[in-house]
Amino acid sequence: MYDFWLTCTRCGTGHPALPLYRCRACGGSLEVSYDYKAIFSRLPFERMAARTSPGIWKYRELLPVFPDTDPVTLGEGGTPLLPSGRMGSTTGGFRLYLKNESANPTLAFKDRPLSVALTAARQFGLTEVVCASTGNTGVAASAYAARAGLRCTVYVPAAAPAEKLEAMKAYGTVLETVTGSFSDAYAASAGEALRLGAFNLTSTYLNPYAVEGNKTLAYEIFASLQTVPDWIIIPVGAGPLLSGCYKGFREMLLAGVIDRLPRMVGVQASGCAPIVRAFQAGEQEVRPWSGSTATLASGIADPLSTYPEDGTRTLAVIRESGGAAVGVSDPEILRCRRMLAEREGILAELSSVTAVAAVEALCGSGAIRAGELVTAVVTGHGIKDMTAAINFEKTGVE
Ligand code: F0G
């Protein structure tokens, strides 16, 4: 028997580690559970973290892979945590660190979840993978599928940046462009995954194995700082990165390595912000975002049309942590992109710049106080959506 299994987040029913997406009892979404006592008694967390091997796989006992499965890896993780330097004038009084996820092999944090998900596909003997994506998941899925020798099909909304589409094609992926939003691509990919018997890698909470890769972000932030930040600021679509990161901190709390948890902040672009809207209205449940999803931050534009419960799951984590959900406008995003590039030497993709814009907003509102330690996650590289930014600056049209 293995030290992990799947648990329904709605009714608590346990399932063996199989390629499942929904609870067989109630249809709720699944998450991976672990026998932490067994894991930490064999290998204390500190010893895992002290391994000299680079990247996410030094934490493999806390990832949902069988002990005899070879990871599908391109050297993901181990990204720099950089103290903010010349942006300091705008962030008076607190210490800001930037976790630069654009240093991953496909230039975005998605290499963490996709390395784990493709390893899971390999361990289950699957030969095909499918996903819906606003771009980054699709690029990472394509690269890791190529590495593993699996066939990959990606469904993208028509507004996805050309740079991401070309990268997917270069890895040999079958690309399907869908009219409409990310949620329309979600529906198309779900049907196709079912038809093909393919592993669905879509970055919502659909694939419980993928979500686990995001925990490694927390382990690395702690390894770099040797303390827990007061705030962690993360751009969110449906929110698995935010929840995964929080789960990583909760595991370190359980292991006795840390003694408190960070406040988690989820950031969305105001043009498509279902989680922010629910947070600000004091609601317990997220509703789908109807109407336009137009924003320069196309990577995180997820209206959650048929799966609003995924947003509710993220909202619950934000609330439990004492954090916040923050909306930022496109002009703020463009201004912060320039500031990050010109003052810090980091060219970030528009969706990921939202984290820095949110730091400013939280600082302005007095939520972040002097002396506090803040980590903003720069989730992807600006080279992946240069054309969108240039066109907008020239014409004002998204
Ligand atoms: N930042 C970037 C650059 C992203 O591309 C995404 C999500 C997120 C943050 C949010 O992460 O999904 O864990 O809430 N991109 C997905 C994709 C939707 O298909 O690439 P999340």
Read off the pLDDT of residues 235-274 as tens digits, 9 standing for 90 and up: 999 999 999 999 999 999 999 999 999 999 999 999 999 9
Pairing state of beta strands 14-15 and 4-8?
Answer: antiparallel
pLDDT at 398 over 70: no
Rg (C-alpha) for the chain, rounded Å, is: 19
pLDDT at 88 over 90: no
What is the rounded distance in angstroms from the CA atom of residue 208 to the CA atom of residue 7?
Answer: 10
CB of 203 within 6 A of ligand 1: the answer is yes
Spacing, Cα 177 to ligand 1 middle (Å)? 18
Q: What is the pLDDT of residue 391?
A: 79
Q: What is the pLDDT of residue 94?
A: 82
Mean pLDDT across the stretch 58-63? 98
CB of 298 within 6 A of ligand 1: the answer is no
CB of 311 within 6 A of ligand 1: the answer is no
Return the number of other C-beta atoms located less than 10 Å from residue 154's C-beta.
31
Tally the C-alpha atoms within 13 A of residue 123's C-alpha that lie toward its C-beta.
Answer: 21
pLDDT at 91 over 60: no
Q: What is the pLDDT of residue 387?
A: 87
Q: What is the pLDDT of residue 38?
A: 97
Read off the pLDDT of residues 178-233 as tens digits, 9 standing for 90 and up: 999 999 999 999 999 999 999 999 999 999 999 999 999 999 999 999 999 999 99
Residue nearest atom 12 of ligand 1, based on CA coordinates:
237
Q: What is the pLDDT of residue 394?
A: 76
Residue nearest atom 19 of ligand 1, based on CA coordinates:
133
What is the rounded distance in angstroms from the CA atom of residue 353 to the CA atom of residue 360?
Answer: 11
Q: Closest Cα to residue 295, out of 252, 343, 338, 333?
A: 333
| Ligand 1 atom nearest to 131, measured from its CA | 19
| Ligand 1 atom nearest to 351, measured from its CA | 3
pLDDT at 395 over 80: no
CA 263 to chain centre: 17
pLDDT at 50 over 80: yes
pLDDT at 90 over 70: no
Q: Closest Cα to residue 284, out of 255, 252, 314, 258?
A: 314
CA 382 to chain centre: 17
Q: What is the pLDDT of residue 385?
A: 93
Residue nearest atom 4 of ligand 1, based on CA coordinates:
299
Q: What is the pLDDT of residue 252?
A: 98
3-state DSSP percent of the chain in helix, strand and coil, to 5: 45, 15, 40
- pLDDT averaged over every residue in the chain: 95
φ and ψ at residue 29, rounded to 5 degrees: -80, 155
What is the rounded distance in angstroms from the CA atom of residue 175 to the CA atom of residue 108?
Answer: 19
Structural domain boundaries in the chain: 81-108+212-395
Q: Closest Cα to residue 194, out of 65, 20, 32?
A: 20
pTM for the whole structure:
0.97
CB of 113 within 6 A of ligand 1: the answer is no
Read off the pLDDT of residues 264-309 as tens digits, 9 standing for 90 and up: 999 999 999 999 999 999 999 999 999 899 999 999 999 999 999 9
DSSP, collapsed to helix, strand or coil, labels residue 307 as coil
Spacing, Cα 237 to ligand 1 middle (Å)? 5
Fold of 81-108+212-395: Rossmann fold (3.40.50)
Ligand 1 pocket: which of 163, 241, 337 to mutate (most atoms within 8 A of CB) = 241
Q: What is the pLDDT of residue 87?
A: 74
CB of 240 within 6 A of ligand 1: the answer is yes
CB of 217 within 6 A of ligand 1: the answer is no
Structure tokens at 100: 């630069």
Spacing, Cα 297 to ligand 1 middle (Å)? 10
CB of 352 within 6 A of ligand 1: the answer is yes
